Amino acid sequence: MARPLTVLVIDDSATNRRTLTTLLESASDVMVLDWAQDGEEGLKKVLDLKPDVVTLDLEMPRLGGHTFLRLLMRASPTPVIVISSYAHQSDVLKALELGAFDFIAKPPEGTPEALEKLRRELLDKVHATRHVKSGGRHGAALRSALLTGEVPQVIAVGASTGGPPAVQRLLEGLASEPTVSVLVGQHMPSQFTRAFAERLDRIGPFTVTEACEGDVVTPGHVYIAPGGRHLLLSDRTGRLELRTPSPVPADKYAPSVDRLFESAAEVLGPRAVAVVLTGMGADGAQGVRAVRREGGETWAESEDTAVVYGMPKEAIATGAVTRVLPLDDIGSELAALVRRRKQSSGQ
């Protein structure tokens, strides 16, 4: 039997500390080692106790969450799960860039139903840290149109845990070919996807927006799937458009990477490119099969760099993945693929 996962809870609210401890210890394989009421105390205890996981509130006295993350990732990189309210999307995204493993949105009300949902999500993400390699990177430091009438080069990307900074690094590597269009299916609550898109948009050279129903796919544009809805590619009267349907009860994920990839395969055929980045679960595995059946390119992030190797591993296990690459190589190699396709088509 695997040893229990140890957790340090950092929160300036005694009530929150007690609640999180109770939720965490409802699992027999999770043990809360201790708690801290601010980042300064928390940093000392992480270095002393060496927990497997840290839960972190961002707004704290003495030493705030962002400074805590900077110091921790230099001194002793440890998986950190940020627990923050919906009102602080930009703070959460900054924390992910600084190295946080993942985040959970605090429920606005402490109803039994909300607490049970929080308990399940918290334990799922704590358990996912078992797949994080010691010393691995948990984050990152982080417009030319095609010929008239040509279908844009489209790349579909799927990610979950660890995805926001990974998507940013991919786009940075792809910046040498800013004529591509990128569709991103990132598992993320609906309250955060627009802020995620706005943050990426400030980086350049791509225009980044949260996708809307009926958007026409244009070169140099990145579309982020709206949280709680799917992102699908469609061909309407000879032009590429986006659809953002609501999920049905049978859908495990919304957005679904599988459905994104399957739509790309159906519309683009051998021109489809699907990339699976870090994340929990198997979303994307069915999708890469669909893309490969149509002769498209199917890539996955390697175990060496994936924060959580679940989604890439499951995609690779299908036998339908054509290339496995470390994260820092994916963007540049995609740019090279786009250049080869331009040359072969005479563009």
Give the pairing type, strands 232-236 and 239-243.
antiparallel
Select from 258, 304, 263 the least CA-distant residue to 281.
258
Among the options 66, 88, 131, 187, which is catalytic? 187
**160 among known catalytic residues:** yes
Distance CA 339, CA 329 (A): 16
Among the options 160, 181, 256, 263, which is catalytic? 160
CB atoms within 10 A of CB 142: 16
**283 among known catalytic residues:** yes
Distance CA 52, CA 16 (A): 20
3-class DSSP string for the chain: CCCCEEEEEECCCHHHHHHHHHHHCCCCCEEEEEEECCHHHHHHHHHHHCCCEEEECCCCCCCCHHHHHHHHHHHCCCCEEEEECHHHHHHHHHHHHCCCCEEEECCCCCCHHHHHHHHHHHHHHHHHHHHCCCCCCCCCCCCCCCCCCCCCCEEEEEECCCHHHHHHHHHHHHCCCCCCEEEEEECCCHHHHHHHHHHHHCCCCCEEEECCCCCECCCCEEEECCCCCCCEEEEECCEEEEECCCCCCCCCCCCCHHHHHHHHHHHHHHHCEEEECCCCCCCCHHHHHHHHHCCCEEEEECCCCCCCCHHHHHHHHCCCCCEEECHHHHHHHHHHHHHHHHHHHCC
**52 among known catalytic residues:** no
How many CA atoms, within 13 angstroms, populate the side-chain half-sphere of residue 213? 4
User: Which residues carry out catalysis?
Assistant: 160, 187, 283
